[in-house]
Structures are given as C-alpha cells and as structure tokens.
Amino acid sequence: MSLHFPRIVAVALGLCLGASCLAQTPMTAASTSENKPDIDLYALMSGSCRTAKVDGREFSCKTVAFFHSEKGRAHFTVALDDPADESHIIAFSGVNGRRSIQNVYELPIDRMLLNSKHRPKVDGIPVPATKSSAGVCRQVGNFAMLKVTSVTCSAKDDSGRAYELQFV
C-alpha cells in the first residue's frame, strides 16, 4: 500500500466530513482563526478493501483516506463503491489516537460520519450525519515512512448498526 500526499482530491471525497476542512480561501489580514483550515494531515492510501461493511451489507471501496485535525480529531474515511449512491461515504472518527508501538496507531472511535446522496448539502457538498459509536481503528505502518500495510476498523453505533473495514 502506498500513500499519495500531493494529491489533494476534489474527491477529498466530497468529504472532509465537515465544513471546516472544505476548500479554503487564502488567509488575509482580515481573516480570523475561524476561517483557518482545520486539517493538518491528509493521507490518501492506495490498496484494496478486503472488507467494507455497513450494517452487514458488503461494499468495495473506491478510496480510503486518513484525516487529522489540529484539534486532535482523526478520521479513517472510506468512499464506498455503491452503484445506487455515488456519494456513499463513511468515516470512523475519534480523538486521542496513539501509537502503541512504533508502527501501530490505534484510534478509539466515538462517532461514525455517514454521507449519502440524500444528505443536506452546504456549498453543493453533502453534510454527513453523525452517529455516536464505540469501536477502534488500528493502522499498521507509518505515514512518516510512507508505508502503511493495513487499516482495520470496527465500530457499532448507538442504534446497533455495525461498521467494518479491512484495508491492505
């Protein structure tokens, strides 16, 4: 699996999953910190999904990306290959991610961000639904070394829907 950093994707999955990381205007003297982009790390990963499930329904993935905000929230975001919905995106989201050992990063999941063609739009981009959830993502590999070998995520939201990702 390789990483593609310079590729800022309009596909940014139509996502970034919140207005704070959408395309930003250049900072000017009149700009405030509210206008400042929130994302400080973005990594688009190439590879393949062994498993991508939403409530028992299997999908293939178009893209998997990692976003980290200056405030510490991180997302493993998955654009699903859903013939019925080209805007079907899920994100495993949490704070306080840690590197437990040198090449293993664990992110406790406290919410799922769910996007689809049916979501309301802001500036033409669907705004995701946020579902309180519990779970964990585990990334083996290291962005600094440009080598991530796998990402596995598992979470369940408050209504009992299960989400799974196995990406290599």
Spatial neighbors of 65 by CB under 8 A, at least 6 apart, are 9, 12, 13, 42, 43, 44, 45, 76, 77
Whether residue 159 lies inside any domain: the answer is: yes
Query: In the chain, how long is the greatest CA-to-CA distance?
Result: 50
Domain containing 129: what range? 3-20+37-167
* Per-residue pLDDT of the chain in tens (168 residues, 90 and over written 9): 444 333 333 334 434 444 333 333 333 344 444 555 688 788 888 889 999 999 999 999 999 999 999 999 999 999 999 999 989 999 999 999 998 888 899 999 999 999 999 999 998 888 999 999 999 999 999 877 778 899 999 999 999 999 999 999
Whether residue 118 lies inside any domain: the answer is: yes
Whether residue 59 lies inside any domain: the answer is: yes
Q: How many domains does the chain have?
A: 1
Whether residue 28 lies inside any domain: the answer is: no
Give this prediction's pTM: 0.78
- Check if the beta carbon of residue 128 is closer than 8 Å to that of residue 67: no
Whether residue 32 lies inside any domain: the answer is: no
Nearest Cα to Cα of residue 14 among 110, 86, 69: 86
Q: Which phi and psi angles does 35 have, rounded to 5°?
A: -85, -15
| 97: exposed, middle or buried (Cβ count in 10 Å: 0-12, 13-18, 19+) | buried
Distances (CA, A) of 70 to 14, 27, 115, 140, 164: 20, 17, 23, 22, 26
Q: Which phi and psi angles does 21 have, rounded to 5°?
A: -120, 15
pLDDT score, position 150: 95
Region of 148 on the Ramachandran plot (φ > 0 left; ψ -120 to 50 alpha; else beta): beta
C-beta atoms surrounding 15 within 10 Å? 27
Whether residue 30 lies inside any domain: the answer is: no
Torsion sign, CA atoms 134, 105, 34, 6:
negative
Whether residue 25 lies inside any domain: the answer is: no
Whether residue 26 lies inside any domain: the answer is: no
Spatial neighbors of 134 by CB under 8 A, at least 6 apart, are 109, 110, 155, 156
